[in-house]
């Protein structure tokens, strides 16, 4: 329990950082499991997907046969890089001309998906912190003011013996009129259900971005089949953007490495399409 505002802020910031790190790791784990890497040789899958997630692409060096992070340098008349500085995590660097490397993109813009995930994670953690604050607020529904320490201790001890969510009591010399104790309501409202619903929407958007199906079938109203299909197709598009772009670049560059989908939504859509073709026949 914090003793002052500075301590409370430090505790809250530490907790927030822990939450952010946990979500980053959680989404990274799910992303790493959403695709399979084929014909990669001794290239670690975790390394490849980490670079794609955080940098939006990875460079294949034709001379060393290594897959490395890269920094672009110089542009031609079309705005395309003329040179690349290839970088390994151990400090290894090498300078290459554009025709000496194959750039394997995670999407057409080479946009790092981690930037979007971080944005979403900040929103999710905002809701997590707000939910905790609301739960704390509704534990304390009243605030009592007393004139002296002994009265405050007597009231606190009595309340603590009856319940955990005790009334907050603090000392105020002008709190009593005669023998009456001034008590006021905090006005705290239970908002956890609304916060959880809003948080779930952000969570679903984030999961869809890494190819995980999140059809919201727990709505109170009946979910339309078209809504589920639309959700699945959007999810498929998100993961297929990575797979199709990466595989296209690999094919154009003449290297055998490929990505393949590994999510339930892709299997479900394939089953639906096969059933539809069977019915038409």
The residue assigned the tokens 């151990």 is 90
Which among 57, 53, 50, 23 is positioned nearest to 113, based on CA atoms?
53
Could you give the CA distance from residue 23 to residue 225 in angstroms, rounded to a whole number? 31
3-state secondary structure (DSSP) of residue 215:
coil
Could you give the CA distance from residue 6 to residue 11 in angstroms, rounded to a whole number? 9
Helices (H), the chain: 5-33, 45-55, 113-139, 149-160, 192-209, 225-253, 264-280
**What DSSP character marks residue 76?**
-
Contacts of 201 (CB under 8 A, 6+ apart): none
Token digits of residue 212: 């995980």
DSSP-assigned beta bridge partners for residue 71: 85
pLDDT at 166: 47
Which among 159, 136, 137, 130 is positioned nearest to 146, based on CA atoms?
159
Could you give the CA distance from residue 33 to residue 28 in angstroms, rounded to a whole number? 9
pLDDT at 37: 96
Token digits of residue 28: 């990274």
End-to-end CA distance of the chain: 69
Could you give the CA distance from residue 266 to residue 242 in angstroms, rounded to a whole number? 14
Q: Distance from CA of residue 175 to its chain's centroid?
A: 47
pLDDT at 173: 58
pLDDT at 268: 54
Task: Kindly report the number of other CB atoms within 10 A of residue 147's CB atom.
Answer: 15
pLDDT at 149: 77
* pLDDT tens for each residue of the chain, 281 residues long: 455 577 878 888 999 999 999 999 999 999 999 899 999 999 999 999 999 999 999 999 999 999 999 999 999 899 999 999 999 999 999 999 999 999 999 999 999 999 999 999 999 999 999 998 888 877 766 666 777 777 777 666 656 644 444 445 555 555 555 555 565 555 667 788 888 888 888 988 898 888 876 655 454 444 454 455 556 667 777 888 999 999 999 999 999 999 998 876 555 555 555 555 555 55
Could you give the CA distance from residue 263 to residue 187 in angstroms, rounded to a whole number? 46
Angle at 19 between CA 14 and CA 21, to 5 degrees: 95
* 13, 26 Cβ separation under 8 angstroms: no
How many Cα atoms occupy the beta-carbon half-sphere of 70 within 13 Å?
28
pLDDT at 124: 95
3-state secondary structure (DSSP) of residue 251:
helix
Could you give the CA distance from residue 147 to residue 173 in angstroms, rounded to a whole number? 4
How many Cα atoms occupy the beta-carbon half-sphere of 14 within 13 Å?
7
């Amino acid at each position: 329990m914090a003793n002052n505002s500075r301590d409370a802020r430090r505790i809250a910031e530490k907790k927030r950082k822990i939450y952010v790190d946990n979500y980053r790791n959680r989404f990274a784990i799910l992303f790493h499991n959403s695709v399979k890497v084929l014909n990669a040789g001794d290239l670690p899958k975790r390394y490849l997907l980490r670079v794609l997630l955080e940098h939006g692409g990875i460079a294949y060096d034709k001379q060393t046969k290594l897959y490395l992070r890269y920094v672009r340098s110089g542009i031609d008349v079309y705005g395309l890089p003329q040179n690349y500085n290839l970088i390994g995590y151990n400090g290894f660097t090498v300078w290459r001309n554009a025709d000496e490397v194959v750039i394997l993109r995670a999407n057409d813009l080479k946009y790092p998906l981690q930037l979007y995930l971080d944005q979403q994670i900040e929103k999710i953690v905002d809701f997590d912190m707000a939910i905790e604050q609301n739960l704390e607020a509704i534990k304390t529904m009243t605030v009592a003011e007393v004139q002296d320490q002994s009265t405050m201790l007597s009231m606190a001890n009595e309340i603590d013996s009856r319940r955990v969510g005790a009334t907050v009591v603090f000392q105020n010399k002008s709190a009593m009129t005669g023998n009456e104790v001034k008590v006021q309501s905090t006005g705290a409202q239970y908002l956890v259900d609304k916060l959880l619903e809003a948080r779930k929407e952000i969570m679903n958007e984030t999961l869809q971005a890494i190819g995980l199906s999140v059809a919201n079938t727990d709505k109170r109203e009946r979910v339309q089949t078209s809504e589920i299909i639309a959700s699945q197709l959007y999810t498929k598009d998100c993961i297929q953007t990575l797979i199709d772009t990466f595989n296209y670049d690999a094919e154009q560059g003449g290297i055998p490495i490929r990505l393949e989908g590994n999510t339930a939504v892709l299997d479900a859509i394939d089953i639906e399409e096969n059933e539809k073709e069977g019915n038409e026949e």
